Homo-oligomer: A and B are copies of this chain.
Amino acid sequence: MSRVQSIERAFAVLSALGDGPLGVTVVAERVRLPKSTVARLLAALVAEGAVEQLPGGTDYRIGERLVGLAAGVQPTRSLVAITRPQLVDLALLTGEAAGLSIPDGFTVHYVDQEDSPNPVAVRDWTGVRLPFHVTSAGLVILAHCRNAEVERFLAQPLERFTALTVTDPAVLRERIRRARVDGFAWTRDEFAEGISSVAAAIAGPDGEAIGAIHVHGPSYRFPAADDPGGGQAVADAVVAAAARITASLRRAG
């Protein structure tokens, strides 16, 4: 294992402070170093903003700099980490690619995907952004929005991606209504010919959609909504996985 002694020691000091504010002597005891060494490390960490002294006292605590460094990284990373095992299970269960997206303005932003075990599959969309109306994830996210927000989306010109893309606001309202009832939404050949999908939303603490998971695949073998061959079973699996993710987030919160 590579090591820089001072960095190792600095992190030992930071970990000691992770439990709450402490003085030099207590930190020295915990990390088993002389007080002078600990004092110097603390002073260096204070200079970096990683540690700060309590006002009017001599105890030290974790500083804003660490919060700042961690802050840019946290939210999506947690969601991806919590969601990943569910995507793996879904891909195996359905034989199709399973993905995660988060809302970003009026688009969905694909942030993770577990590929299909099938040799014939839809490519990885991670990193791509697509408007709500052409994706199953977008429709279920809209289903979790307030009507005013839905109307704001529908008020703008909606791009037609294929001959089958739905851009009529009245038809979209009806699909959003159904997604609210069903808990999932389907699309077929609307973003691109030959690609179908079904999605369910991941709910935040106030019921808002913080993301959605979907399964998608080539239309020639992907079940349709009304397919007696298994469409409902795929939708149920996606809804169940989304519910497990929502529950995990609440426990983690």
Chain B neighbourhood of A120, CB < 8 A: none
Complex partner residue of A67 from B46, B73, B104, CB under 8 angstroms? B73
Complex partner residue of A18 from B1, B6, B48, B73, CB under 8 angstroms? B73
The count of identical subunits is 2
Complex partner residue of A20 from B7, B11, B47, B76, CB under 8 angstroms? B76
How many A residues have CB within 8 A of the partner chain? 51
In the complex, 24 of the A-B residue pairs with CB atoms within 8 angstroms, ordered by the A residue number, are: A2-B43, A4-B6, A4-B41, A6-B6, A7-B7, A7-B45, A11-B48, A18-B68, A18-B72, A20-B76, A21-B111, A21-B126, A21-B127, A22-B127, A26-B127, A57-B126, A59-B127, A61-B73, A62-B72, A66-B73, A69-B70, A70-B71, A71-B74, A205-B253
> A-B pairs with the 4 shortest C-beta distances?
A2-B43, A70-B70, A4-B44, A6-B6
